[in-house]
Each structure stands twice: as C-alpha cells, then as structure tokens.
Structure 1
Amino acid sequence: MAGAIIENMSTKKLVFLGFSVLVFQVISIMVGALIAPSPTSAIRYLATKCINRHRARGWLVPWGSKRCQQVHSFDEPLAKTLDANDIVFSVHVPLPGMEMSPWFQYLLAVLQLDITFKMINQIEDDVILTIDAGLAYRDNLMSEWTTKFHSVEQRPLKCTLAVPKTYENEGRFYHCEPIPLMELSSVAHKYFLINLRLPVNDTVNTGIGEIKDIHIVGIHQNGGFTKVWISMKTVFTPWIFVATAWYWYRIRLTGRPPVLLEKLIFALGISMTFLNVPVEWFSLGLEWTWMLLFEDVRQGVFYSALFCFWIIFCGEHLMDQRLRNRLSAYWWQVGLVVFGSSILLIFDLIERGVHLNNPLHSVWASDIGTKVSITFIILAGISMCLYFLSLCHMVRCVFRNIGGKIQRLPAMPEARRLRYRGIIFRFRFLMLVTLACAAMTVIFFIINQVSESPWHWGEYNLQVYSAFLTGTYGMWNLYVFTIIFLYAPSHKHNRKSGECKHTDAKEKPESQETQLTCGGQGANGDVQDHRESG
C-alpha cells in the first residue's frame, strides 16, 4: 500500500481531519444526550383475574364494554368456589387511553409472580412452571380480537425466601426471578391482549406455591429514540457508501491488482454500509418479524470484518514477514473469527429464528436448550479470547519490530528509510485511533453501568444510555471512514509514478537508486529495495 494518502498528507491537513472527526464524534454523542429520549421504556401491568368456569374458547378482556367477570383476590368467597383451572390472567397492552406504534420496533414481555409462603404449599426445588399463553391483537377498539399466537410453554421457576421457613413467616412473599414470556420483533398493531392460564393437575404445576398475582412488564423501544436512530442511519449510509465506492475507484486507477489489505478495507466499508442501511423505514409500514434477527446478522458481519481487518493489518506491517499479501498466512486468526461468528449465528438463528413462528418459545426453557445455548456461548467466548491473545501477540511483535527499525533508520538508504517511515506512521496512527475508539467504548459502558438515569446539566437532561448508543454508532462510522480515506491511493503517488514511467520511456535511469526514488512497486504494492534482494 505504498503511496497512501496518509503518507502524502501534510501535518496541517492531518490535524484538520482529526479535529473534524472529533467534532462529528461529539455531535453524535450530543444527539443522543440532548435530542434522543431514553432508548427503552418498561411498563408494569397487573394481570386481571378473569373467571372462565366452562373454559370456553375466546378472549377475556380486563376492561372495556366487554370486560370479563373478575375476582380481585383469591381470598374472596367467590374465588374459593373456583378451581385453579377456571382462572385466566388477562393483560391489555397498552394501558387505557394509549396505543402501540410501529415506532416501538419490538415488544418484550416478562413475568413477575407474587407468591406467598405457606408451610403446606411450598415452592419445590427445580420446579417447572407450565403456562397456557395466548396473544391477540386489534387495530381499533370496536373490532374483534384476532388470534396471533397460542402455545403451552414451560419456564423454570426460581424463587428464594429471605426469612426462615417457619409458621411465623407464613404470608411472606418469595423473591422470584423474572420469567421471559414473549418477544415480538414487530409492533405492527395498536392493541394487544395476553391471556395466561396456569393449568393444574396431578403432574402439571405442582409445587409452585400459592400465587397471589401476576405482573407483566412490557418493554419496548421508545419512538423518539427510533426516529433519532433511523435518522442517523439515513445520514451515515450515503456517506460511507460514497467513501467506499470512491476508495475502490482510486484502487482501480492504480492499474494493479488490489493487495490483501486493500481488499479488507473495501470489505470493511461494505460491511459498514450494510449495517447502516435504514431498512427500519420499511418496517414502519410492514410487519417484518425478522428485523431483530436481521439486525444481529448485520452487526455480526461488521464485527467479523473489523476483527479480520485488525489481524491482517498487524500482520501486513510485520516488515520482516515473508508470507505477506496471502490470506492463508492468517488462517488461524481468521478461522477463530469465522468459528466464533458462526457459533453466535447458529445460536441466534435458534433463539430468534424460533420466534418467527412462536414468539412465546424460549431455548432457555428446557435443560437441554439451556446446556446447548451455554455451550455455544462458551465456545464463541473461547474463540474470541484466543483471537485477542493472538492479536495482542501480533501487536507486540509489530511494536518490537518497529522499535528495532527506528534505531536503524538513520543508517538506511533514503528510499528504504522513507518506506519504513511511512509504514510506521500508518500503523501508529491506526493503533492510536483504534485505541481511542476502544477506550471511548469502555468509558461509555462504565458510565452506563453506574447510572442509566438522566444526568442534569443546568436546564438540560442528558440521556447517558442514549448518548452511549449514538456515540458508539457514530464512532465506528467515523473510524471506518477515516481508514478508507487515509489508506486510499494518493493522486500524488500516481502522478509521481507516471512521471517515472515517462522518464523511463525516454531515457534509461542513470542508476538503480533513481528507480527506488521513483517508487517502484512489487506485487504487494510496497516499495522494493532491489539492493537488499540482490
């Protein structure tokens, strides 16, 4: 990659570029902090206890003109005459006077159970909760409910009691872990209705304790944040696409086959463009239930390309390495990336792929599914750890190599000294930018873990988590753009090469040193020192 823009750019222009990138980075952070609301909202719904004595088919509505017959507490005289199978827990989403919107993008439902401690009806260890769940929808308050999904699911019930299990502590509530119920990848309707029944017989739902109430926590993305997020994607998409197309055009102008590193930079630009394309605009009018899976695939493609770029960039800058410009030289590291990405893709296809047909299903519901999922995650984690160890080792080798070359630069011929100086500068600059990106990601992550609540700055409320998301997204776009721009072939290098060719056509160079000064290139695009090969 001899003759890249970064080698010919003046210090003033390079500083201006860095300052411009920093300004855009600050803007992307402030957009999330000042304009975007919190990314998600969680609303708690108390399930209404509807009576369904004859267990007739149909939907039981908790409120409105057709509301079901209800009991407010299981301690009521009427409730004592009922069987557990006669109770249906009903939840209307959203609350009265509100409606859902496609801008919410997705809807997650989590169960929280209020279970009281009774000496004669305790929660058994490793008990499984069986749920007969159904989901219906409608788009106006006057129409009938349309069945969307219905399934009988099982979930592990994990509860603990903070006090000793004695008669004196009867009536105390267990502390139960939230139970994932449902995941909708599209909110294409205005109203949803959830009906839950906990069937009881000799083998089902025994040892689950005495359930008093069921709460459902609905989690969705805020519409205001979705508008900001899609707007950022709409802005970044043409920017990165044009930069990638321009980069490949400059490569073609060199009149030589692109080297491995140039292909990787081009692939990185394509993956970033693929991640940026705002297909969410279409999901606002269409019920695309595969959007969450598609988003995970796009992120996986980008991070795979980024990890491969890092390892190959370091390898190509090992100046004494003989096997250069060959993908096979990095089969170990690239194989780890492909293996880890494939494992995560398979896990995602199993988890989210099943939701395409049944959003109530979860791979974590069974012991086998849990073990398989944990195995996949562990294998992917091991491969990523091995990759980063290999990357750290390669970076260490490069810096050690650079340290030795710097000490010998004054004694080198001018052409060779310029070559190594350009390589060293390119590598150090990229490592500086990369470390800055990684540091910002870690800093934002720590801030987000400390507090997800808004920060107050005078009259303004700063949404920290929104700033983390928009800042990280903008940072990676700026990072890819910087790489594409700085490592594109320079027109100055092309002009100098043309001048050399013109001189060679008229007269033979006086010495081999003249050829080196003109910048002869080898197969891998680097300046060759013919005296060294001789």
Structure 2
Amino acid sequence: MAGVVLETLSWKKLIALGILLLLLLLSFFLIGGLVAPNPSNVMVVLGTKCLSKGSHMQQEWFIPFGGNEKCDSIKSVDDDRVWDEGISANQIVFSFWLPYMRDGKQLDFSRWQQMLLTVMQLDIKYDPKFPVGKDPTFQFDARIGYRNKEDGVNDWKELAHSLEERKLDCQITPDKMVIGNQYNCSLLAFFELGSLHYDYYLINVRVPVEPYKGINMEIGSLMDIWVIAIHQNGGFTKVWISIKTVMLPIVLAVLIWFWRRIMMLTRPPNLLER
C-alpha cells in the first residue's frame, strides 16, 4: 500500500520477530530474579539515649558509638540514675547512626543507593499518671549530620535541622491498661533523602517538654524511639543502569531506522509519525 510505513512481513519473519522479543523479555525477568538483589532494604535502629549536660538548645553532636566523645547514655528513662540525678526529659537526646554495624563491621552508604526513606516508631508506656491525650501532637527537634570515611571521627557536618510536629495515633485496649504495657502507635513520617552522597548519617532527636506552653504534655510516657530506614540497594541500581545502557543503542537504532523509512515517503510525515 502506498504511503504506509509498515512492511508486510512473511510468517517466518513475524515468528522470528515474536520469538526475539519473547527471549528479550524472558532475559530481563531472569536477570531481575537471578542476578539483581532486592530493590530495597530495611534497617530498624533503636535510638541510644544520650544525656545532654547543658541547655537543650546546644548544637553539639551526640554520637552513639565510634567517636572520641563518648555518649553518656542510659538504658531506660526509668533508670535509677534518672531519679537520683534528677535528669529531665529535656536532657535526653535520642541518637541514631545510619547505617548501623553488622557482625562487628561498620557499614556505609554508597551513591549507588539512590534514596533513603525513614519513619519513626514510638514506644509509649501506659501510665495513668501520664495518659495519652485525645489527638495529641508530638513535637521533636531533629538534626541530621553527615560524615565520610576519610573525615575525623567527630567531624560531623549539619545537613538539616528542623522543629517538627506530628499527630499521634496511639490506642490501647481496656484489658491492656496495666502499668508497663505499651500503646499501639502508628508510624510517623520522619524524613526522606533523594540521594545518598555521604558514607554515614547521624540523627539527633530531642523531645522538649514545656509545661507552660503545653508542649509534649499529652504524649504519655515515652520510653524509646525507633527509626525504620528504607534504602535502595546499590546492586539493584547497577543492574538497572546496565540494562538501560544496553537497551539505549538498540532503541536509538530502531528509532533511526524508522525515521529513515518515514523520510523515504513521497509525502511529509503526519503528526502520529512525528
């Protein structure tokens, strides 16, 4: 037919083309299932409770491990030391190091890992003296720092600092209302990084308590903070980019061939062909 770009293929050519496309698709499935690792991985990190001796507005870094400046930590907010020394909630800093150590080896991030998404999980103990209010607001002061492997152990630089608020959704059934039991609290959105340019990240979270302003007076008895971090695996990114690199010249070759066939027509190309 005059003016039609599509050629009339023989059955042999059509079957060969179909088999080629099927093998190509099957190879991508096999690469994804046998070669590529999981697209993402999850880390669950419990915050180390460090003690701040000065004002809660000080900008010092609290490092849970690996630094020359040791973190003066407590095991629990119910520790005898808290009552003996009169430690207040404003002196407690929840510290997190990402990524954590595994089998005695300090892991590090890579630029192949394209994103980091974090959420917070609060451990709130039931205590009739400190009940969870109706639709309470959780306010926290968060600082995020970064460091590379060649930097000094205490050479942390600030990436972000913000005072944030989140609405708490914590429930407990009547049969669980016993001192020491925990509320069932929903996860709280924390922060997201679109790229990981540095090897290590340090997170310091303060939960200020100000009775006169009503800040964090209805969040109950906060015991621990967990950070759940989801990051893309570097191996998956490498396989993904490799497939794209192989397919790019093939797609360009097909596009050039198609456009040359368009230009061979005696009429100008229409909008769909363009």
Secondary structure (helix, strand or coil) at the match of 1:235 reads helix
Give unmatched runs, 5+ long, in structure 1. 264-534
Contact map agreement 1:106 1:184 (CA 8 A) in 2: yes
Paired position in structure 1 for 2:234: 223
Distance 1:48 1:145, change over 3 A: same
Matching residue within 90, 108, 114 for 1:85: 90
Deviations 1:184-238 (A, max 9, x none): 1111111110000111113211211111111111211111111101101111122
Contact map agreement 1:119 1:165 (CA 8 A) in 2: no
C-alpha distance in structure 2 between counterparts of 1:192 and 1:146, whole Å:
9
Paired position in structure 1 for 2:112: 103
Count residues with an aligned counterpart: 260
C-alpha distance in structure 2 between counterparts of 1:166 and 1:258, whole Å:
73
Paired position in structure 2 for 1:301: none
Tell me the amino acid that sits aligned with residue 185 of structure 1: G
Tell me the amino acid that sits aligned with residue 149 of structure 1: A
Tell me the amino acid that sits aligned with residue 3 of structure 1: V
Deviations 1:5-62 (A, max 9, x none): 25x1112211111111011010000100000111111011110001113123210101
Matching residue within 218, 243, 268 for 2:254: 243
Paired position in structure 1 for 2:152: 142
Distance 1:186 1:166, change over 3 A: closer
Tell me the amino acid that sits aligned with residue 98 of structure 2: V
Matching residue within 53, 56, 59 for 1:57: 59
C-alpha distance in structure 2 between counterparts of 1:133 and 1:100, whole Å:
21
Deviations 1:116-165 (A, max 9, x none): 1122322223222111000011112625111111111111211222x216
Paired position in structure 2 for 1:17: 17
Secondary structure (helix, strand or coil) at the match of 1:218 reads strand
Paired position in structure 2 for 1:48: 48
Secondary structure (helix, strand or coil) at the match of 1:5 reads coil
Contact map agreement 1:122 1:208 (CA 8 A) in 2: yes
Contact map agreement 1:119 1:166 (CA 8 A) in 2: no
C-alpha distance in structure 2 between counterparts of 1:160 and 1:241, whole Å:
57
Normalising by structure 1, what TM-score?
0.47
Contact map agreement 2:121 2:186 (CA 8 A) in 1: yes
Tell me the amino acid that sits aligned with residue 75 of structure 2: H
Secondary structure (helix, strand or coil) at the match of 2:273 reads helix
C-alpha distance in structure 2 between counterparts of 1:220 and 1:102, whole Å:
11
Distance 1:256 1:146, change over 3 A: same
C-alpha distance in structure 2 between counterparts of 1:256 and 1:107, whole Å:
52
Contact map agreement 1:40 1:220 (CA 8 A) in 2: yes
Distance 1:99 1:83, change over 3 A: same
Distance 1:157 1:2, change over 3 A: farther
Greater strand share, structure number: 2
Q: CA deviation at 1:241?
A: 2.1
Tell me the amino acid that sits aligned with residue 157 of structure 1: L
Pairing 1:127-206 to 2, within 5 Å after superposition: 127-140=136-149, 142-143=152-153, 144-161=155-172, 163-164=173-174, 169-202=178-211, 203-206=214-217
C-alpha distance in structure 2 between counterparts of 1:110 and 1:67, whole Å:
27
Secondary structure (helix, strand or coil) at the match of 2:34 reads helix
Paired position in structure 1 for 2:5: 4
C-alpha distance in structure 2 between counterparts of 1:67 and 1:233, whole Å:
46
Normalising by structure 2, what TM-score?
0.89
Contact map agreement 1:111 1:180 (CA 8 A) in 2: yes
C-alpha distance in structure 2 between counterparts of 1:26 and 1:228, whole Å:
16
C-alpha distance in structure 1 between counterparts of 2:127 and 2:159, whole Å:
37
Matching residue within 196, 204, 224 for 1:213: 224
Paired position in structure 2 for 1:338: none
Larger Rg: 1
Secondary structure (helix, strand or coil) at the match of 2:31 reads helix
Paired position in structure 2 for 1:122: 131
Give unmatched runs, 5+ long, in structure 2. none
